[in-house]
């Protein structure tokens, strides 16, 4: 599966080897990906790998194996370290900056490194007793010696939804208050406790845009490590064209025609769209590239009654 999808080989079987990170740090040829404040160094269209000896103070973990089988380590570095002071600032990029130009393997490496580094930085103490945690599994878990509880990197599921009109000819996008009108995108929100993904789609669309939807269909997912999200992409059909933005998170909603979406994708439309690294962009492109008049069909037609089973 790794070869077919060109994704990172995480070498999970090595995580149980005692002191594997220390051994690989001392092994000639081991490559290291350095993360600093949610950014990596990118050279051209690839994540920069360095030798272990070139890295100063950092938290270490095993990322896996590179394309050619060479071991890959993660070094999660503090904001200021001797090993990175000489690196040009413009080479340190976030996923929004670099994701659109990386191939699937480099993107997977990029996202995994940021996600794991964020967890290493944030999860240093036990949530139950407050004691410092011991790093285990080559950086993929921590254990509390007091509570004997094992902690793992956390992922928070969130839905993101492209909503189309009943005739399939228009797409509903919203402007988040944080974007100050510069961009319109699909609607998104985190899954709350006790919710199914479909429940979250119904709730978020009604809360943010005043829209009732039906025919919900899963499309694809994307890890988004800012700080630890998993974006689950859906499409849905609006029950009618009435909208009511909440005025706080979403300041404007617009029905855009296929021609308007096409011009926006080309960079000269009536609204700005998310960048190519985002699943929102892919959902919009997914809708735009369908034959005219094709609407999504086959999902649940109405939100469930409160407390009903999924």
- Which pLDDT tens digit goes with each residue over 55-96? 888 999 999 999 999 999 999 998 765 555 456 767 888 888
Asked whether residue 43 carries a pLDDT value surpassing 90, the answer given is no
Homologous superfamily in CATH for domain 156-288? Nucleoside Triphosphate Pyrophosphohydrolase (3.90.79.10)
Whole-prediction pTM: 0.86
Read off the pLDDT band of 287 (50, 70, 90). Answer: very high
Domain residue extents for the chain: 2-122, 156-288
Is 2-122 assigned to CATH 3.90.79?
Answer: yes
- Measured CA to CA, the distance from residue 112 to residue 228 in angstroms comes to 10
Task: Give the CA distances from residue 96 to residues 2, 225, 264, in Å, rounded to whole numbers and listed in that order.
Answer: 24, 11, 18
Helix (H, G, I), strand (E, B) or coil at 275: coil
Q: What percent of the chain has pLDDT over 90?
A: 74
HSE (side-chain half, CA atoms, 13 Å) at 232: 16
**Residue-averaged pLDDT of the chain:** 88
Return the structure tokens found at 236.
């849905």
DSSP state of 212: -
CB 23, CB 15: distance < 8 Å:
no
CB 35, CB 121: distance < 8 Å:
no
Bridge partner residues of 172 (DSSP): 163, 255
Same fold, 2-122 and 156-288: yes
């Amino acid at each position: 599966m790794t070869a077919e999808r060109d994704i990172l080989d995480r070498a999970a079987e090595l995580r149980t080897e005692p002191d594997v990170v220390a051994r690989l740090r001392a092994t000639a040829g081991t490559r290291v990906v350095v993360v600093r404040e949610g950014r990596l160094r990118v050279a051209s269209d690839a994540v920069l790998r360095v030798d272990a000896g070139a890295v100063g103070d950092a938290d270490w973990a095993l990322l896996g194996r590179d394309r050619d089988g060479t071991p890959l380590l993660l070094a999660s570095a503090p904001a200021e370290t001797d090993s990175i002071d000489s690196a040009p600032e413009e080479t340190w990029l976030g996923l929004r900056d670099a994701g659109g130009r990386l191939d699937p393997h480099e993107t997977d490496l990029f996202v995994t490194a940021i996600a794991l580094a964020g967890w290493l930085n944030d999860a240093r103490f036990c949530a139950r007793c407050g004691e410092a945690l011991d790093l285990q599994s080559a950086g993929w878990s921590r254990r509390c010696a007091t509570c004997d509880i094992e902690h793992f990197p956390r992922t928070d599921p969130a839905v993101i939804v492209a909503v189309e009109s009943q005739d399939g000819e228009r797409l509903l996008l919203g402007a988040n208050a944080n974007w100050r009108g510069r961009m319109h995108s699909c609607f998104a929100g985190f899954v709350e406790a006790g919710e199914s993904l479909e429940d979250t789609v119904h709730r978020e669309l009604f809360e943010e845009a005043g829209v009732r939807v039906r025919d919900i269909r899963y499309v694809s997912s994307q890890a988004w490590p800012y700080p630890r999200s998993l974006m689950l992409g859906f499409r849905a059909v609006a029950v009618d064209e009435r909208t009511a933005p909440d005025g706080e998170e979403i300041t404007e909603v617009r029905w855009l025609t296929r021609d308007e979406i096409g011009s926006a994708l080309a960079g000269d439309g009536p609204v700005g769209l998310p960048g190519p690294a985002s699943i929102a962009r892919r959902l919009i492109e997914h809708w735009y590239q369908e034959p005219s008049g094709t609407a999504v069909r086959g999902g649940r037609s109405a939100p469930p009654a409160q407390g009903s089973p999924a």
